[in-house]
Amino acid sequence: MEFIDFYDSDYIRTCAAGARHSYIEDMENKLSYFEKRLQSKNFKVYWAATENDLVEMVKEILPSKTRNKVCFDLETIPQGFKDSRFSPISIAQLENGAQTANVLFTQADFGVVDTGTLVFVNRKSKNCFQRVEKIYVLLDISKLVNKPSDLEVILYLRSYCQSQKYLPQDVKLMNAPHLILSERINSNGDKITATEVEVTVFLYDNGVTTILQDNELRSSLYCIDCGRCKTVCPVYQYDKEYTPIDLVRANCFEHHRQTGDLEKRALLCGNCEQVCPVQIPFTKLIIKELGLSKLPKKGILSMTNTFEKRKKLNKMSGSFYRRFFVRKIYGKNRMLFNYFKYQKEPFYNILRSQQIKDDEQ
C-alpha cells in the first residue's frame, strides 16, 4: 500500500496536483467509466450541458404534479427553478419533520471514478437523505477523482487550507441508492419505511468541456475549492461576485468577455497564484484572457506590462505611490481606488508583505 505522509505539506500538494492532473487529462474516458459504474449500481444518470438544460430536464422528469415540493441544497439555485411548479421546502423543515418533500435536490462535491461513489462534504442536507423518496444530485464533471486515495489527499489538503488542520471533514459517501432506507411519518404519525430511494445524478458540464479544449485554461480545472484564493484577493473583499478562479473561468465565454469584467476586476497583484495549493497559474491565465478581451491593444499591453513590473510595484511601500499608480491604471474604478485609499499596510503582494514582516522581526 502506498504510504502518504500527511504531515509533509509539500508532498501533499504534489500528490493533490498529480491527482487532479491524472483525472482532468483523461476526463473523457474517466467520465464514461464513472457513468457506467453509477448505472450498474442503479443510479439514474443524466447529462446537463447548461443551466437551461438542467432546468428543462428536471421539469421533464419531476413527478407529474402541478406543484412539487422540492428541498434545495445547492450553492446557487438556478433561476428556472423559481417558478410556480416548485414549492421550496427548507432543509430545516425537512429535517425536523415539519414538512415533507417530493424531491431533495443536492450537490455532490466529488465523485470517485473507480468505485462510482458520490461524496458530500459539509452538506446541510446530509441528514435528510432518508426523508425523501427521490434525491437529485448535481455533480460538476470536473470534480471527479480517479480513486479513493486521491480523494483522501484532496480532502486533507482542503481541510488544511481552510482550517490549518489535517482533519477529515464532515464527509458523507453515497455508494448506492439501494442502501438508503426512506423514513417518513404519515399523517397518522406512523413511521413509513420504504425500501429504496431513487437517486438521479446530473453530470453537469456548465462550460467545463469548453475549458478542457484549451491547453492552458485546462489547468483552472485542477481547483479543489479550498477557497484560499478568495481570502487573499483584494477585489473579492469588496465585491463578492467572482472569486479569482471564477473570474478566470467566466471570461472563457464570449458573453462575459464583452462585459469587460476581467479588466475591471483583476488587480494583477498575483496573490491568488501564490497561495493556490494546486499551483494554478493565474498570472498566465489572466494575461491570456486579457488577450481575448475586447480591450484596445494598447490597454492590454499596459496591463500585461503591469504583471511584468510586479517586482517593482512590490517595492512601492508608500501608499501615495500605490494610489497614484492605481488611479493611473484603474482611474475609473472607484472600488479599487478606494481599496488602496484605505489600505494602510504596504501591500501589493503577500510575499512582499511577508518579507517586510520577517525583516522587521
Q: Which residues bind ligand SF4 (CB under 6 A)?
A: 223-229, 245, 275-278, 280
Q: How far is the CB of 233 from ligand SF4 (least distance, A)?
A: 9
Residue number, 31 or 223, with CB nearest to ligand SF4 = 223
Residue 34, burial from CB neighbour count under 10 angstroms (0-12, 13-18, 19+): buried
Sign of CA dihedral 46, 49, 55, 56: negative
Residue number, 227 or 331, with CB nearest to ligand SF4 = 227
Residue number, 197 or 280, with CB nearest to ligand SF4 = 280
Angle at 288 between CA 282 and CA 292, to 5 degrees: 135
Helix axes 334-342, 319-330, angle to 10 degrees: 180
Residue number, 47 or 307, with CB nearest to ligand SF4 = 307
> Are the C-beta atoms of 101 and 72 separated by less than 8 Å?
no
Beta strands in the chain (DSSP E): 44-48, 68-73, 86-89, 103-107, 110-112, 117-121, 134-140, 144-145, 171-174, 182-185, 191-194, 198-204
Residue number, 21 or 184, with CB nearest to ligand SF4 = 21
Q: How far is the CB of 157 from ligand SF4 (least distance, A)?
A: 9
CA dist list (Å): 81 to 57, 60, 62, 225, 349: 11, 12, 12, 25, 42
Strand partners, 140: 204
Residue 275, amino acid: V
> Are the C-beta atoms of 12 and 157 separated by less than 8 Å?
yes
Q: How far is the CB of 272 from ligand SF4 (least distance, A)?
A: 6
Q: How far is the CB of 20 from ligand SF4 (least distance, A)?
A: 9
CA dist list (Å): 121 to 10, 95, 155, 188, 242: 24, 18, 9, 35, 22
Q: Grid coordinates standing for 308? A: 511584468
Q: How far is the CB of 279 from ligand SF4 (least distance, A)?
A: 8
Residue number, 151 or 276, with CB nearest to ligand SF4 = 276
Residue number, 226 or 303, with CB nearest to ligand SF4 = 226
Q: How far is the CB of 317 from ligand SF4 (least distance, A)?
A: 27
Sign of CA dihedral 46, 113, 108, 207: negative
Q: How far is the CB of 79 from ligand SF4 (least distance, A)?
A: 25
Three-class secondary structure of residue 70 per DSSP: strand
Residue number, 208 or 280, with CB nearest to ligand SF4 = 280
Reference 169, options 147, 151, 181, 182; nearest CA is 151
Q: How far is the CB of 224 from ligand SF4 (least distance, A)?
A: 5
CA dist list (Å): 197 to 29, 42, 46, 207, 320: 29, 10, 17, 30, 63
Q: How far is the CB of 70 from ligand SF4 (least distance, A)?
A: 29
**d(Cα 161, Cα 9) in Å, to the nearest integer?**
10
Residue number, 70 or 252, with CB nearest to ligand SF4 = 252
